Structure 1
Amino acid sequence: MKKLVSKLRFFSSSSIVPRCNNTPKPVLNPLYNLLPQTQNPNKIVDVICSTLNHRDHSVLLPNLRDEVKSLIPHLGYSEISRVLLRFQSDASRALAFFKWVKFDLGKRPNVGNYCLLLHILASSKKFPLAMQFLSELIELTSKKEEEDVFSVLVSASDECNWDPVVFDMLVKGYLKLGLVEDGFSTFRKVIDSGFRVSVVTCNHLLNGLLKLDLMEDCWQVYNVMCRVRIHPNTYTFNILTNVFCNDSNFRQVDDFLEKMEEEGFEPDLVTYNTLVSSYCRRGRLKEAFYLYKIMYRRRVVPDLVTYTSLIKGLCTDGRVREAHQTFHRMLDRGIKPDCMSYNTLIYAYCKEGMMQQSKKLLHEMLGNSVVPDRFTCKLIVEGFAREGRLLAAVNFIVELRRLKVAIPFEVCDFLIESLCQEGKPFAAKHLLERIIEEEGHEAKPETYNNLIESLSRCDAIEEALVLKGKLKNQNQVLDVKTYRALIGCFCRIGRNCDAESLMAEMLDSEVKPDSFICGALRVTIRLLKLFVKRGVDIIKR
């Protein structure tokens, strides 16, 4: 017996367990069979399975690590697969072991281990769990071109119980993670191998390819569906209608609709809305209104989407009055307009310079409890600006504020800038002060610079200096255009000393004077010395 023990010690201390690619090979020496299970490398699978067979394996598994600490290095990918295969009919124990390996031992299972677990979970109808681990596997392998999950899944199906739905789930898993092209490639492999894909997964694939503008691939998927007799549903045809509308073969839509009806599917509201919207975008309003009439004949009631498409199409074609008539027809049908449908009409009226109608529509919005958005206000203010009616735009803003309508600050900023450019700085300054007081917004430095420049051009130097002080309190620097306007104003009103002081301040702020500023000051000898001292080049006028 002493000789046997000494031989065991010799074998355990020698390197008789080769390792290749971090996967331990089985220890085949028969002398290990004389050791207790928890010390025998050949028995690591038996020890783990024995623990898992215990009723309360969730408690025993964490403690197992300490008991078989010396054997953990011998738990390779092959051993993990053997344990999973022993519990292929007991998904909960297989899953407990997989998580123990991954989280407690810190080992990363390989693709084969994942695929065995996926087959076990799918065959046990634990589909949400299977999808969870499938998504995890796809993320692990998506950047490794040599890892083909589909091929390993097929190989793993020879060793364990499996459900073909797992291949459908694989395509869906790629699509779920946004890997549409990988999903399409896997779809073709699945079909070529004789497996089935559900119509739901096909619809997800078609939708993903449509969003990527891969129209040819969409038709390939549809042709495959017809070939292997995956029966399309209404959702399939609605997606394909979108494909037609975005494809160059738009004239074949009627033929496609006929085929849809031959398959036993009636075009629904989504189908008609897709077609009406596409006809309107392409300026084919005659066909759009023909479909609109057909909808009523077939008892498909047009909704807000239908009418908004028609209104937008008419507005784009310059037929604003007809668009408004269609809008009223929509109201008569009992369909409540939303902000988008109002904005479509308001935009058209503003484009035509019909500002009174635009304002009337906005008041109608408020009366119907439809809240204007930032786009609504922007449309009307910019419409007034194009017409040169800036003061009317200011009154419009004040009126909206009185009606408790929130005005986006960028709209007010645009109006302030427009007023400054038009030489109306006092109206701009009053509007800014009102916004700051009521809304609590702080104006951007560019807004202050525009106001200072505009006030200076109007020789309102004191008001300009007040704003300059506000900028300075915000630790903001004036730009060269603002200095140019202030210095030019000082020179015009005969305050040359103030102009020279401002020049010195400008140089301290490292803003270089331009030729206009130098010409306005008729550069004195004292200023020339200041320029030389500060290293400023004088540009001759």
Structure 2
Amino acid sequence: MTRASLSALNPSLVNSANFYGNFITKLPFSSSSASSLQTIENSQCKPLLNPLYNLLPETRNPNKIVDLISSSLKQNNSQLTLLQNHIKPLIPHLGCHEITRVLLRFQSDCSSALTFFNWVKNDLGIKLSSHNYCYIVHILAWSKNFSLAMSLLCELIDFVKDCSNCEDLFESLVSCSKDCNFDPVVFDMLIKGYVRKGMVKEAIRTFTNVLEVGYLPSVITCNCLLNGLLRLNFIDQCWLVYEEMGRVGIRPNSYTFNILTNVFCKDGNVDKVNEFLERMEEEGFDPDLVTYNTLISSYCRKERLNDAFYLYRIMYRRGVVPDLVSYTALMNGLCKEGRVREAHQLFHRMVHRGLNPDIVSYNTLISGYCKEGRMQESKYLVHEMIGNGISPDSFTCRVLVEGYGKQGRLVSALNLVVELRRFGVSISSSIYDFLIVSLCREDRPFAAKNILGRISQDGYVPKPDIYNGLIETFCRCNNVADALLVKAEMVRKRIKVNLVAYRALICSSCRIGCLSSATATKWILIKQS
């Protein structure tokens, strides 16, 4: 219909249309305000039903925004960028209701729905509502795009957590499921999302709500929940979840029982393990390697080696072959009781049965020998592991160096460090700190300073406490001149000299009769304070 015919029908309509057209053109978010589009927040407005809007061109008619976007999506996803320039005056009318309408139109085309969702969120900068998130999660889950659905669900959990109002996401997902295709797997995903975020209370509440509305979470989801509860030490809740699983008919699997075995061990109810294992067998599950290793480790920690070795023998009878974890746990238990020779024999038995020891196995034995002061055996094991292509780690080096230090054999410790470095083993700064501090305690400041000078060339940066301790040791040995040299180096490197070091300098200077040095140091201290 032309403007002339409109005028003939009703001039007042034309005036009204002109008024609304001019009004929209003059809005602050129209053609000249492209930047403001990126920050405008989403409104909860309903679709505008003013019939006068239908007299405007489509690109200025708020009632047509959903049709325009849908049409562009159907043609080509890349058309959204071009469309954005044509409908700038309409962008402020793109509220959560309109966003939902577009998403629902493309619920069978998850690619287009996701493109639109990301366009609104990233390109337009519109603040999406939790319901918009729920709809896109439903659409992606229905299309079996579970990884993306899970990612957006976790994003939604963070979004709701940061808001002041504590929205129930389960209720939101249920509410949105009435309008679109949905897969109950989203409820499993919500439980897993809460567990992933460490929000186990919300996960338990969601688990309960899911059961109340008649859906059954998968055993994998239940295991995820049990694992999260165990990790945060919510032992009682683990058993409540397990009882609920039995009540509603969710059949546990071997992973469930392995988690519950860990619960038993963490709760200290190792005595009830046999009863639990019997129940496990009644359910049709035989204890596997993980079950046995969990129990053996727990028995060894509680110094019940007889029970641990009983399970070790049972494993062979039941056709479960012990692995490195089994042997290392038993070796560790023996070493804690001072039975290192027996642990070493078990180590050889493990090797003869075809298992290659790893760094943990070697460290267990080396640590056991070091605690007994048998450094020669420890050093032999270090050479053996290097020969087998296993490089000592920071734990290995620290145990050996501290073992020599306890025997007062710091020279041997230093020689070992030099030898390890020759093998290409990285020495941590904490080991160097230990050596320097130990030499200072033995009043051997020149040896400590010599080491400090050598390792500083390799990039070692000593802590201020190392320098201050060195000053105190020189002063204790009445070597004030060397202490002042260390102090001068600290000043040059802009490292603060502490009060104890200053006092040591003053006392040592007075003790050897060097009053001028003591007075100068005192004035420096007064000036700094």
State the TM-score, normalizing by the size of structure 1. Answer: 0.83
SS in structure 2 opposite 1:267? Answer: coil
The verdict on how the C-alpha distance between 1:146 and 1:429 changes in structure 2, with shifts beyond 3 A counting, is closer
The Cα shift of 1:478 comes to 4.4
Q: How far, CA to CA, are the matches of 1:7 and 1:468 in structure 2?
A: 87
SS of 2:78's equivalent? helix
Superposed CA deviations along residues 103-134 of structure 1, whole A, max 9, x for unmatched, are 33332222222222222222222323322322
Aligned to 2:217: 197
1:400-438: per-residue Cα shift (whole Å, max 9, x none)?
44555443333233223222222333433443344345x
Bigger shift: residues 21-30 or 143-152? 21-30
- 2:35 equivalent in structure 1: none
Change (3 A) 1:22 1:461: closer
3-state SS of 1:334 partner: coil
Structure 1 equivalent of residue 15 of structure 2: 6
Q: Deviations over 1:470-492 (max 9, x none)?
A: 33433445445545555555555
CA, structure 1 residues 415+22, in 2 after alignment: closer, same or farther (shift >3 Å)? closer
Distance 2:102 2:461 in 1: 67
Amino acid at match of 2:523: L
Residue 85 in 1 paired to residue 131 in 2? no
| Contact residue 480 and residue 505 of structure 2 kept, 8 A | yes
Matches within 5 A, 1:400-479: 400-436=420-456, 439-460=458-479, 463-476=482-495, 478-479=497-498
Change (3 A) 1:126 1:488: closer
- Structure 2 counterpart of 1:175, from 195, 206, 214: 195
1:153 is displaced (CA, Å) by 1.4
Post-superposition CA distance 1:427-452 (Å, at most 9, x none): 33443344345x34344443344344
How far residue 49 of structure 1 moved from its aligned partner, in angstroms, is 3.0
Match of residue 52 from structure 1? 73
Within the candidate set 303, 311, 314, 2:323 is matched to 303
Aligned residues between the structures: 502
C-alpha separation between the residues in 1 aligned to 2:487 and 2:91? 74
Matched residue, 1:115: 134
* 1:357 aligned residue (377, 386, 400): 377
| Structure of higher RCO (CA pairs closer than 8 Å, 6+ residues apart) | 2
Of 25, 29, 49, the residue aligned with 1:28 is 49
Distance of 2:459 and 2:61 partners within structure 1? 76
- Aligned 8 A contact 1:24 1:73 in 2: no
Contact in 2 for aligned 1:167/1:197 (Cα 8 Å)? yes
Question: Which one of the candidate residues 67, 87, 107 is aligned to 1:68?
Answer: 87
Contact 2:60 2:89 in 1 (8 A): yes
**Offset, 1:305:** 0.9
CA 1:91–1:480 in 2, change beyond 3 Å: closer, same or farther? Answer: closer
Cα distance in 2, alignment partners of residues 453 and 22 from structure 1: 69
Question: Is the CA contact (8 Å cut-off) linking 2:474 and 2:482 kept in structure 1?
Answer: yes
3-state SS, counterpart of residue 337 of structure 1:
coil
Q: AA paired with 1:41?
A: P
For 2:241, which of 221, 226, 229 is the aligned residue? Answer: 221
Residues 449, 30 of structure 1: CA spacing in aligned structure 2 closer, same or farther, 3 A cutoff? closer
- Deviation of 1:240 (Å): 1.4
Residue identity opposite 1:96 in structure 2: T
2:122 corresponds to which of 103, 113, 117:
103
Q: Which residue of 2 aligns with 1:523?
A: none
Give the match for residue 379 of structure 1: 399
Counterpart CA distance in 2 for 1:86 and 1:7 is: 33
**By how many angstroms is 1:191 displaced?**
1.6
How high is the TM-score relative to the length of structure 2?
A: 0.85
- Please tell me whether the aligned partners of residues 191 and 206 of structure 2 are also in contact (alpha carbons under 8 angstroms): yes
Which of 344, 348, 352 is the equivalent residue of 2:368? Answer: 348
Q: What letter matches 2:516 in structure 1?
A: E
CA contact (8 A) 1:480 1:511 kept: no
Deviations 1:375-395 (A, max 9, x none): 222222222332233344344
Question: Larger deviation: 200-209 or 96-105?
Answer: 96-105
**8 A contact 1:353–1:383 mirrored in 2:** yes
Once residues 146 and 472 of structure 1 are traced to their aligned partners in structure 2, the CA distance between those partners, rounded to angstroms, is 55
When residues 445 and 258 of structure 1 are mapped into structure 2, their CA distance, relative to the original with a 3 A threshold, is: same
Tell me if the contact between 1:88 and 1:120 (Cα under 8 Å) persists in the aligned partners: yes
- d(CA) in 1 for partners of 2:500 and 2:125? 65
> What RMSD in Å do the two structures reach over aligned CA positions?
2.9
Tell me which amino acid in the other structure corresponds to 2:354. G
Q: Percent identity?
A: 56
Residue type at the aligned position of 2:360: M
**Structure 1 CA distance for aligned equivalents of residues 485 and 61 of structure 2:** 89
Structure 1 counterpart of 2:523, from 488, 507, 517: 507
| Uncovered stretches (5+) of structure 2, i.e. residues with no partner | 1-5, 25-41
The Cα shift of 1:164 comes to 1.8
Output the amino acid matched with 2:69: I
Residues 499, 369 of structure 1: CA spacing in aligned structure 2 closer, same or farther, 3 A cutoff?
farther
| Aligned amino acid, residue 137 of structure 2 | L
Structure 1 position 265 matched with structure 2 position 274:
no
Question: Once structures 1 and 2 are overlaid, which stretch shifts more, 265-274 or 333-342?
Answer: 333-342
Q: Answer with 1 or 2: which has the greater Rg.
A: 1
**2:502–2:521 contact (8 Å) kept in structure 1:** no
Give the whole-Å Cα distance in 1 for the aligned partners of 2:400 and 2:357.
19
Q: Give, as a single letter, the amino acid of the residue that structure 2 aligns with 1:416.
A: I
Equivalent-residue separation in structure 1 for 2:185 and 2:364 (angstroms): 47
SS of equivalent to 1:185: helix
